[in-house]
Structure 1
């Protein structure tokens, strides 16, 4: 039996309300019990017997089973309608064109049918919608016999060319799966992988030898996959050249102007990679390009990207000795309404770090107190790496605030929840770091001794400054500041600039 409760609780609260309204509007009878069943499933973990008693006043398995089946079908209708509204409006519009054209062609209104198909083809070509183009060509060929002016041979050539594009897209989908599988192994094993070579080899296996033939969206997806995989291992250095080389293709892509959303996303990903590699000026240059395209098409996507853009600008400013500007840019986002929750939490966490580095511990404490959800919730929303950073920052903050009980509980919780994952992704440095933090926390005086300094030197597998992730360096700066009794922000800047 399908678990209806599991389906319902995955819906956001506003969607749950919309579902109840949808059911009420759909019900033809006033005594329909589907809304009552929804509310019971959402309120508590009632058993089937308890639900039957509340709805029917007695045990009625057959009626409850039938009610569940009807509710499941209504859920399918509701989610389909909702998805149709949220789907790419262009795709939906073109599907309507095709259905309408076929209707006219069936009724013998050939000229009108082909005019509609022609219009749909122009739009689909511009946006490289190969699946929809396949349906358009299929329909044109099917009814070509009805119009002697139609050049069927030309349509067949175009149809076969489009089929080749579809094959390339399918092969790329296979490549995605293989690349992600390989990257999962890479994340779990203590080996060094040439990511660029991995991508190239996989694409060649799938006969994708010319990236210029890929759709704009496909190029974006390649960049996105590489970026996501690198974030899991804090490894941005090895992917920078591949990402920028790929963007050179994108800059001259024929559908660049028709894929504005993906273009902005790509610019953001590149700017983020450059920031993580401590190339602040280069990152800001790409952020300027990003801001330019955000204003294109009557600022169609401006609001969608403003928070992400401002956060990355602020991060670059903070590590370029412009911390005041960084804080000033992000503070208006505190308690701001109508902002994506993920973007807001990213901003909050960065602001906490800025406040911390600025010795504004009370402001940092006040902001971190707004993180009242469970770690499981944060992992689902922002991922495990983000949640690990949040916990580490909170541990350091509570140490400096002198909250002994909180530090002890946070340390135990961190070890229990994250040590295993950190070992799996070859990040023993984080484990080592936390152990050193615990030594300092329990005996602060030892941190300035030569013995502790030697222990730190022997504990870490340091890599080149250019390759080390900026956030990892920021965490180490906290420890070094304690060892040298210096200002944490100045130590951070010195480490990054290798002074």
Structure 2
């Protein structure tokens, strides 16, 4: 059955009203039930059987399924028409120029035709529309022998240069798809892959160097490739200059609504990179820019990015000594319905971390109780890295609330299930950390000594404070707070400030 509910859920209130008006203009009969069906789907309160009963007084019938198919087709037509009128308005304008110019070319009115094609070329070039540019150059070259004012050699050079850009954009698209598949294999299937080696192999195979950006789309894909590498290695400090320099190129380009989706993606990647590098104020500035972009075009992309933006903003606030504000932000976000399960899980896990850092363990346990699925289910929905973070948070919470049976059950399960994986990806310091955590549980009073402090410092291989991952530092802060007998949140912020 067509997933109408999923499609309808993407409509904002303005889209809903426009679509109802669209249906009203199309309906020729008064007894058409498509508007009623659409309104039922918006509310998401009734099952298909219940809706069928409301519409036809029976639980199931062929008329209902036929109505769903007609509504689906109407939605497709509505979305397509909107895109033609709105998102693709530039493309359509250029295509009109090309069609008009060809009419004049057939009439041998070359002056007018080439002036129109010049307009089309300028517009297509500003928006990096390489396929359309190729069509313009093709037309110009075809009729160049009949129009002496045109320099054929220059036109051929332009077309060849455009074809290189188009080919590079295609190659970037392939590389991005391959690297994203690799990331999914690592994150969601737990496969062991040497990502950095694979990255270089793929880039070499396609003769690509991550240097200059072209269109918003290709720039986003270049940044996304760099971000994937940083995500796997946690070396966000290595890509910060590249990310910011690339965006400065983007800023010089002519902004177009067609490229808005990719621009939002780019700003999000920049804000995330700055957060991971502990530049909170700067990251929050880009988050504000992201919010402004999300509101353009009547908020067409608001639903796509609102949870990501909320999570990143909350994390920045939490590590910038505004914890309650961060908590309130997430509480509001998760109180609303969303279909992005992965983003919701990230929000819940961050909320658990915030309450844990606040040492409000009762509320933290309440948040944890909402994670009632199996680890395998969470790996498929949010990735293995998320599951490991959840397990570690759970173990620490059981230590704090002295739940001995649950603590040792979870410790045993975690070591058995993830030892091989964490060893192969060279993240065994998680087990070193948990060994110290268990040591603290067994003897809290004897933990706070210089001997323990020295053991901890010698047990881990640390990078510099500036380069160390913020979430790794947060875990170390818990051990440090136990040695120093200090508050966890203030200890965490003190460590972060040193960076």
Q: Deviations over 1:4-29 (max 9, x none)?
A: xxxx9xx989679xxxxxxxxxxxxx
Q: Match of 2:239, SS?
A: helix
Task: Show the counterpart of 2:218.
Answer: 218
Contact 1:356–1:397 at 8 Å: present in 2 too? yes
Which runs of 5 or more structure 1 residues have no equivalent in the other structure? 1-7, 17-77
Taking a change above 3 Å as real, the CA distance of residues 12 and 371 of structure 1, as seen in their structure-2 partners, is farther
The C-alpha deviation readout for 1:343-401, integer Å capped at 9, x for no partner, is 22221111111111222222211122112222222222222212211111111112212
- The answer to whether the 8 A contact 1:233-1:427 is kept is no
Q: Distance in 1 between matches of 2:156 and 2:243?
A: 37
Give the direction of change, closer, same or farther, for the CA distance of 1:208–1:317 in structure 2 (3 Å limit).
closer
Instruction: Output the CA distance in 2 between the equivalents of 1:167 and 1:301.
Output: 28
| 3-state secondary structure, aligned to 1:259 | helix
Deviation at 1:460, TM superposition (A): 0.7
- Secondary structure of 1:336's counterpart equals coil
Change (3 A) 1:150 1:299: farther
Q: CA deviation at 1:206?
A: 2.5
Contact 1:141 1:152 in 2 (8 A): no
**What pairs up with 1:32-431 in 2 under 5 angstroms?**
89=83, 127-131=127-131, 133-134=133-134, 140=139, 159-173=159-173, 206=207, 211-212=212-213, 214-254=214-254, 258-338=258-338, 340-431=340-431
Q: Are residues 263 and 99 of structure 1, via their aligned partners in 2, closer, same or farther at CA, if it must alter by over 3 Å?
A: closer
Are 1:98 and 1:136, in contact at CA under 8 Å, matched by a contact in 2? no
CA distance in 1: counterparts of 2:427 and 2:416, whole angstroms: 16
**Paired residue for 2:483?**
483
Q: 1:281 to 1:202 in 2, by over 3 A?
A: same
1:233, 1:425 within 8 Å by CA — same for their partners in 2?
A: no
Change (3 A) 1:234 1:164: closer
Instruction: State the shift of 1:475 in Å.
Output: 1.2
Root mean square deviation, CA, Å: 4.8
SS in structure 1 at match of 2:464: coil
How much has 1:133 moved relative to structure 2? 5.0
Deviation at 1:210, TM superposition (A): 6.0
CA distance in 2 between partners of 1:327 and 1:277 (Å)? 22
Asked if 1:465 corresponds to 2:465, the answer is: yes
Determine the C-alpha separation between the residues in 2 that align with 1:206 and 1:277. 30
CA distance in 2, matches of 1:221, 1:275: 20
For 1:374 and 1:481, locate their aligned partners in 2 and report how far apart those are by CA, in whole Å: 31
Matched residues in 1 for 2:96 and 2:257: separation? 28
d(CA) in 2 for partners of 1:297, 1:334: 25
Query: Aligned partners of 2:299 and 2:181: how far apart in 1?
Result: 38
Tell me the number of residue pairs that the alignment of Structure 1 and Structure 2 aligns: 419
Deviations 1:163-184 (A, max 9, x none): 2222222444576589889999
Moved more, 292-301 or 220-229: 292-301
Q: Deviations along 1:26-52, whole A, 9 cap, x unmatched?
A: xxxxxxxxxxxxxxxxxxxxxxxxxxx
**Distance in structure 2 (CA, Å) of the matches to 1:466 and 1:211:** 28
Query: How far apart, CA to CA, are the structure 2 residues paired with 1:98 and 1:280?
Result: 42
Q: 1:150 to 1:399 in 2, by over 3 A?
A: farther
Conserved in 1, the CA contact under 8 Å of 2:128 and 2:215? yes
**Aligned counterparts of 2:237 and 2:481: Cα–Cα separation in 1:** 26
C-alpha contact (below 8 Å) 1:94/1:132 kept by paired residues: no
Change in Cα spacing, 1:301 to 1:452, as seen in structure 2 (3 Å) is: same
Deviations 1:94-126 (A, max 9, x none): 999999999999xxx979xx99x9799887655
Q: Is the 8 A contact 1:171 1:208 kept in 2?
A: no
- Is contact 2:94-2:124 (8 Å) kept? no
In structure 1, distance between residues paired with 2:257 and 2:89: 20
